[in-house]
Structures are given as C-alpha cells and as structure tokens.
Amino acid sequence: MKIQLKKYFESNPMVPSKLKSGPINNKMLGLLFVLGALGGCKNESKQSTMLGTDDAASKVYVAPGKYDDFYMFTSGGFSGQVGVYGLPSGRLFKVIPVFSQNAENAYGYSEETKPMLQTSHGFIPWGDSHHPSLSKTDGNADGRWLFINENNTPRIARIDLKTFTTAEIIEIPNSAGNHPSPYVTENTEYVVAGTRFSVPIGEKKDVPISSYKENFKGLVSLIKVDKETGRMSLATQILLPPFDYDKNRAGKGVSRDWSFFTCYNTEMANTMLEANASQNDKDYVMAVNWRKAEEYLKEGKATEMHTPYYNNHMDDGTQSAVTEVLNKQMILNPKDCPGMVYFMPCPKSPHGCDVSPTGEYIVASGKLAALIPVFSYEKMAKAIEAKNFDGDIQGIPVLKYDAVIAGEVQQPGLGPLHTEFDDKGFAYTSMFLSSEIVKWKLGTWEVVDRIPVYYSIGHLMVPGGDSKNPYGKYVIALNKITKDRYLPTGPEVCQSAQLIDISGDKMKMLLDFPTIGEPHYAQAIAADVLMKNNTRIYKIEENHHPYVAKTEKETKVERKGNEVHIYITSIRSHFSPDNIEGIKVGDIVYWHVTNVEQDWDVPHGFAVQGANNSELLIMPGETRTMKWEPKSSGVFAFYCSDFCSALHQEMQGYVRVSDKNSTAPISFSLNEQK
Amino acid sequence: MKKINSLLPALLLLIFSCNSGEKTENNNGQAAKAEPTPTGGSAAIQDDVSKRNVLQIALASPDHSTLVAAVKAADLVNVLATVGPFTVFAPVNAAFEKLPAGTVTELLKPEKKKDLVNILTYHVIAGGYDIEEFRDGQQLGVANGGRVSIGVKDGKVTVNGANILASVQGANGTVHVIDAVLIPPSK
C-alpha cells in the first residue's frame, strides 16, 4: 500500500514538492491523500492533472459546453452516409446524407434533392459509401470539401464543409466496384478512382463471363476538381489489365505526381476468388503518373468512348439539384503512353496502400502475407530511369521487387490491412485477423508496440495521418465486429471506433464508441480549421428558388391543370397560408415551403397526413418542396414536425381536398375570421 | 500501517467518487480498476447460443490437447475466435507424438514463440473450405504466408500428404482433423 500511495504523491502536483521525497510520515500521508482527493472533486478543471496521466476518462472528457479538438468524418458504409463525430469525446454530431435517401431531412425525398440520386440506371435510393477524403492544399486538409466514394453504382460525392451537405455527385462510367477511390492529390488537382471489379466496356459489353481475360477491363479515372467551386469533371480514364484494384493513395512531397494502387486477382479469375485469386505469390502495387496522363491527354493520345453518365450538383441560387447527362470519356492506353504506369511486385493480395508523410514510402499490406513490404519512391524513380524491369504486362513495365523495396516489416501480426502515420516517424498498421494495431518504425521497420482492439479492425485513422503533417495524438481503430462490447441489441449490433492515445511510447486505449453503418475509413481535421467557415443560415435575399415566398405577402396557391403549387412560408409559430381549399382528388400538389426565419438553429419541419413521402426539414432561408397526391376527399392536417418554439404545438394548418368533379375554386388564407 | 488501513475505505470511496484512473488495491489485495477494462479478447466472449467456433471445437476435443496447448502458448487463442472464416488443419495428439522427441517441449518455450506461430499459422487458411471444396492439386495460401497443397484421390483428401480424418464445421470455419503435423518449408 505504501508504494501505491507514494506513487500517487509523486505524480500529484498538488502535493508540496518537499513531501515527495524522503521518508513520509504515514499519518501525514493519509491526511494529504484525503485532501488531495477532495481537491480533485471540487475542482473539475484540475481533475486530469490530479488523477495522473493514466486516467483515460479525463483524456476523452469534453466538459459540457466545451468543444472537441477534432471533427471526425466516418463513412457510413452500407448506410450510404457520412457520420460526423467529435474527438476525443466520440460524440456523434450529425449524419450527412450522401448516397441514401434520408427521411429525417428529406434528402432524396424532396423535389430539390431527388436529382442528386439520379444515375444512368435511374433513381437509386441507396449507396455503399467507403472512403472519406478531405480536400487538400499542399498535402494538408484545407477544410473545404469532403469527397466520398460509392462502391456499388460507381459514384463520387463532394460534401460542402460549410454546410455539411452533399453538393455534388458524379457517376463514373465504364467502372464497377468503385473501391480504390476517391483519394485526392496533393493540391486536390484530381480525385483519383479505380475499378475493383473489371467489366467489359465500350461497344462489346454482352460477352460470356468466361471470356474475362480477353474482354474485361480495369480502369483508373482522374476526376478534375475546380479550384474555386470544387465542381468535378471526368478528365481521363486509363485502360488497365482486368485485375482487381483495391486501394489507392495519392503521392505527396517527392511523389506528388503519382497515385499508387494495390492490385489483387492478378490471376484474373472470374469465379471463387476466395481461392483462385490467391494463387500468385506476388500481386502488384501500381504506380500511375497523373501528371504524365495530363500531358498525354493534351497531346491527343486519348481515344473517345461514349458511355452515358450523370453529374448532379446543387445550385446554390435555386437551392435545387441540377442533373447533367454526359456522354464522352477520353481513354488513355498505357501502351501508347510510356512512363505513365508501372507495376511493382508485392506479396499476396495486397489491400491497403498508404504513403508516408514525406511521400517517400509506400506501404502495401498483403492480407495473406506474413510481412509488410514498404516501397521506396526514390528507388522506384531510379529503377524506372535504369529500366530495371522484369518484363511487362500489356505494355506496362514491371519493376524488379529488389530494385524498389525499401524494407519489410517482419511478423507484424496476422492479416495486415491499412497503415497510417504519426509525426514522429512511426507507422500504425491494422491487423484484421489478430485484431490489433501494430506500431512500427519507418526506416528500421521494427515493430515497437502492439495493442489489441475489439474486434476485427478494418481501417484505422490518425488525424491527419494521410497528410504531410499528421497530428500524432490519437489513432482510431475502426472495427467490424463488436459482439459483447456493448449492451446487446438483438442480432444486429453496431460497429465501433476505438480511440487510442499514441502520444507516448506505448499505445493506450482511451475510449470505445459505436458508429453508424460501417466505418470503412475516417478522416479527421482540427476543429478550428472547419469551424470558422460554418454556415449558420441561408440568406433569404439570396434564395432564388423558383417557388420561393420570401415574405408572407408573396405566399399563394396556383393551379396549373391538375398540378397545384402551394407557396407557403413557415415562421415561429405558424404557416402562411394555414387554411387551403379547392384541391381535388387526382391533383398533384407541390408544397413549396420556405422557412423565412433568419436565426441560427431554427429549422422548421413540414408534414401532411397521407403523404407517401418523408417530412420536409427546412433550414432558415431555405425552400424545400414536397410532392403530395391525396387519394381521398376530406380535410387533412399539416404541421411543423421539428419542435421550433414555445407555440410549436400551435403550428398547424388544414387543407381541404374535394371530389374529383368538384368545381370549388382554389382559396387560401391565414387568420381570416368569418 | 494500521492507521492507514483504517483510513482506507474512506480514501477509496473518495478516489472512486472522482473517477480516479489509479489502480489501487484494497485491504484484501484485490485489484480494483477504474481504467477501461479491455475484455479478454474474442475467445472470452460468452455465447452459448451461436454454433461453436473453430477454437471451441478444438478446445472440446480430447484428441487435440497438444494443439490447444500450442495455440495458447502462441497467443493465437483470440485469433481463432474471430470472424474469420478459417480453415484449420488440426493435427491430433498422436501426430505431435510422431515428431522427433522433445520437439513439442522445445517449441512451447517462450523464446521459440516465433517458430511456434510460424508452424501453427501454417495450419490455418484465412478462408472457409469445406471438405467438398478441395480439389486435387490445389495450392492454398495459409496464414504464415506460405501455401499447402491439397490432394484428392479415391475420395480421400490430404493436405501436404497428411490425411484428413474428419471435418467439423464451426461458426467461423471448418476444422479438418489431420494425422500429421504440417512443417513449413524453411524460407
């Protein structure tokens, strides 16, 4: 006991230093101990220092009213969305709807947002979101946009980080399984994507599956990002052998002109990949020089392909999504473009492909490999110059393993997947099979620490860990399995994130919290970088929605054949108009609701009985439209569905629906006493 | 010490009321932790409802006590209880006895852990294969980074020449009982 108490005293700054050494009177010790503990209870702000550095709770505690240090964006996986959390608290702030309809705020239900989910396959209400990627300036997150890929119907979305809303979605033609995506280059020149599944493309698409090697193609897509607006456009696509391209990262610093991809199924199997795609002892890391691709495109080396694809974006003025159908791709073939693409042999079905902060090291983790190979950019550049090749694949040179390898991390654990970096020259790799994070040193490749995670980790993330300047404070484990970690919720239990302190030599588990959907990957950014740009309201004078009513005087109800347009406003605590008549069964009614409030955090909701649709949730200064097709005559109530004010329960109205043959004219009013 | 002991209950109460992270001991020497408590890992999950996993199958088999001891010594217990799926080639006790005398004792020594892990992970495929899925001449990658070859002749299935005596399907993969220990080729 004596030792324990002594230890406590030594680490306790409230104890006068002269008492910290030398023989200590037991009685005195006990008394001081009580005082110390009492002091800790009285003074919350001193609690963390009082209780010593081992106290996990104090490290993740964000006092009421205080802010977190980081925003964390996690992919929602099969929910199709993005989760926004605070770090270190793990508090969930928001779910940003991206690829899936979201009834909570009418994303994909309202007339304004429905076009965002239009694709060449029609309206798709669901997506599989995987890898959030923050826009970068000089290799560091700049807080402007967040990109995220959709795997199933290949698409990339851009989220505006001023409003935390989806601003644009571009479909990627000639692609399937948009998994190695959407990693941004050092200055967000491009968002880079690739095909996990190779498919037949171009004219000859209806082919036997057994003709895989001959007819199926892999592709890398370079999507140009406008510097000012962020608008995405497909610049070029690079034709590749029908491998599975798994993950990708842009280079930075010395390797800034390159993007690196892991490739598996270089066996080119089209069935039972579980066995047939693990036959080769080496697959590849592919290096793509996007700067060269840009030049070849300018030189006219590309051929055209014509597959229709969609690009949907929100128009800020009309607050409505605009769909464009495009039909031209510029295809580069590496055969005609020397120096653009190279393969580097890599052990056994590599998955993660991660680039160190300086851009010098490329870490590829083979799911089935017993080591982690680390490639050197400098050696790669030299090997290319010396033409140190081991043959080629469809015109793409294969570099010699020994010529490009910087080192191998031996016996790191089982099932290495992904690697992130800190600011002290260490790398952190997730191990799926052995459920752990392994810390190792760049340069010596030796494992220096490991920590178990619960359970079956996929990605991991260090805030800024993919950038030139990582914050070496935390690593977050993104786990696939939780089983017994939380109170059980039936057969479906959550996936999770675990926050681990990496500021010292040994990793320390701090916190464990559930996530929405599946957190494939996450990105984090310092709170102060984002907070200053935050939008609080939409200015009503800048609302150019075609059906806006900026004041109650502008409200009206118009009939155009069997279409009825209701220009209605909401303000605490009424709608204008709130009594509407003259609607008939068979009419298609559009409720254009403008929230005319100009006050932060005062959204209004709108719900009407019998709507085969979601509610609307309308931000201050915004107009949102619900389509309503009443099926029977009667009087139906509508109301505000987001508690807005003291008299929220009074915020209601009635709409009268008459028989099909009724001749009752349209009428509407607010507070007309008869 | 007496005086301190008499103060202890009060002290501990105070510490915990402040959510101390200090690890302390009470009078009886029992550890009282206020740190987040990591569980014992996947193997410690209490679940009597799901099908048995490959670890539990091995644990329940008296013919596999040597294998189980080796898996424990190699710290692979938690791995085999994860989602997998796994194909485990599980040598029976008699198979270990066929090895040169002293081999097992030697491998179970802490300083030989790397070699033990290498041998044991040579018996595990990260992928679920039922007996019917094996094909003659198949080369399958195993968790130590190497590969094993499957033989199927006259309805008998072998792995690197070892006979598959029985197969038990588990919740996270299949255990194929074999009559010899598979020795990875030296690198």
For the stretch A572-605, pLDDT in tens is: 999 999 999 999 999 999 999 999 999 999 999 9
Interface test with B, best of A368, A432, A484 (most B CBs within 10 A): A368
Q: Are residues A546 and A527 in the same domain?
A: no
d(CA A486, CA A497): 12
Residue A33, chain B, CB below 8 Å: the answer is yes
Q: Among the three residues A531, A558, A579, which one is the final residue of a domain in this structure?
A: A531
Residues 159-218 of A with CB under 8 A from B: none
Q: Which H or E run includes A292?
A: helix A290-298
Confidence category of residue A279, pLDDT binned at 50, 70, 90: confident
Confidence category of residue A674, pLDDT binned at 50, 70, 90: low
Are residues A54 and B35, on separate chains, in Cβ contact within 8 Å?
A: yes
Cα separations (Å) of A372 from A182, A358, A365, A438, B137?
24, 19, 5, 11, 29
Q: What are phi and psi of A335, to 5 degrees?
A: -55, -40
- The answer to whether position A58 is within a domain reads no
Cα four-point dihedral sign A98, A478, A468, A247: negative
Name which of A47, A275, A348 is nearest B18 (Cβ-Cβ).
Answer: A47
Q: What are phi and psi of A548, to 5 degrees?
A: -75, 145
d(CA A421, CA A436): 16
**Average per-residue pLDDT in chain B?**
83
Report the pLDDT value the prediction gives residue A298, as an integer from 0 to 100: 98
- The answer to whether position A150 is within a domain reads yes
Does pLDDT of B181 surpass 50? Answer: yes
Name which of B83, B133, B139 is nearest A279 (Cβ-Cβ).
Answer: B139
Mean pLDDT, range A440-448, rounded to an integer? 98
Residue A438, chain B, CB below 8 Å: the answer is no
Task: Please report, for chain B, the start and end positions of each structural domain, with discontinuous segments joined by +.
Answer: 2-32, 42-178
For the stretch B78-90, pLDDT in tens is: 999 999 999 999 9
- The answer to whether position A537 is within a domain reads no
Residues 269-328 of A with CB under 8 A from B: 274-275, 278-279
Chain B residue numbers with beta carbons less than 8 Å from the beta carbon of A52 are 21-22
**Through-space distance between the first and last CA atoms of chain A, rounded to whole angstroms:** 85
Q: Are residues A450 and A506 in the same domain?
A: yes
Angle of helix A2-10 relative to helix A26-42, nearest 10 degrees, comes to 50
Are residues A56 and B8, on separate chains, in Cβ contact within 8 Å?
A: no
* Structural class in CATH, domain B42-178: mainly beta
Does pLDDT of A24 surpass 60? Answer: no
Q: Among the three residues A466, A496, A531, which one is the final residue of a domain in this structure?
A: A531
Number of domains in chain A: 3
Report the pLDDT value the prediction gives residue A343, as an integer from 0 to 100: 98
Name which of A4, A55, A435 is nearest B82 (Cβ-Cβ).
Answer: A435
Chain B residue numbers with beta carbons less than 8 Å from the beta carbon of A506 are none
Report the pLDDT value the prediction gives residue A10, as an integer from 0 to 100: 40
- The answer to whether position A65 is within a domain reads no
Name which of A4, A58, A348 is nearest B141 (Cβ-Cβ).
Answer: A348
Distance from CA of A452 to the nearest CA of B (A): 8
B1 or A246, which is more confident?
A246
Please count the residue pairs, one from chain A and one from chain B, whose beta carbons lie less than 8 angstroms apart.
137
Does pLDDT of B30 surpass 80? Answer: no
Assign 3-class secondary structure to A339-358: CCEEEEEEECCEEEEEECCC
Q: Among the three residues A531, A552, A583, which one is the final residue of a domain in this structure?
A: A531
Q: Are residues A145 and A81 in the same domain?
A: yes
Chain A residue numbers with beta carbons less than 8 Å from the beta carbon of B21 are 51-52, 54-58
Residue A482, chain B, CB below 8 Å: the answer is no
Name which of A5, A41, A435 is nearest B78 (Cβ-Cβ).
Answer: A435
Are residues A454 and B117, on separate chains, in Cβ contact within 8 Å?
A: no
Q: Which H or E run includes A133?
A: strand A133-137
Are residues B126 and A367, on separate chains, in Cβ contact within 8 Å?
A: yes
CATH number (domain holding residue A599): 2.60.40.420
Residues 6+ apart with CB under 8 A from A511: A56, A60, A88, A89, A90, A498, A499, B36
Mean pLDDT, range A48-59, rounded to an integer? 64
Q: How many percent of chain A have pLDDT more than 90?
A: 88
| Minimal-distance CA residue of chain A relative to B122 | A370
What is the domain extent for residue A24?
2-52
Q: Are residues A160 and A48 in the same domain?
A: no
d(CA B35, CA B38): 9
For the stretch A366-399, pLDDT in tens is: 877 889 999 999 999 999 999 999 999 999 999 9
Report the pLDDT value the prediction gives residue B29, as an integer from 0 to 100: 38
Confidence category of residue A280, pLDDT binned at 50, 70, 90: confident
d(CA A472, CA A465): 8
Q: What is the DSSP pairing of strand A579-584 with strand A652-658? A: parallel
Q: How many percent of chain A have pLDDT more than 70?
A: 92
Report the pLDDT value the prediction gives residue B187, as an integer from 0 to 100: 64
For the stretch A282-332, pLDDT in tens is: 899 999 999 999 999 999 999 999 999 999 999 999 999 999 999 999 999
CATH number (domain holding residue A196): 2.130.10.10
Q: Are residues A508 and A580 in the same domain?
A: no
Contact A503, A472 (CB under 8 A): yes
Residues 13-72 of B with CB under 8 A from A: 14-15, 17-25, 34-36, 38-39, 41-42, 45-47
Q: Are residues A111 and A27 in the same domain?
A: no
Mean pLDDT, range A555-569, rounded to an integer? 98
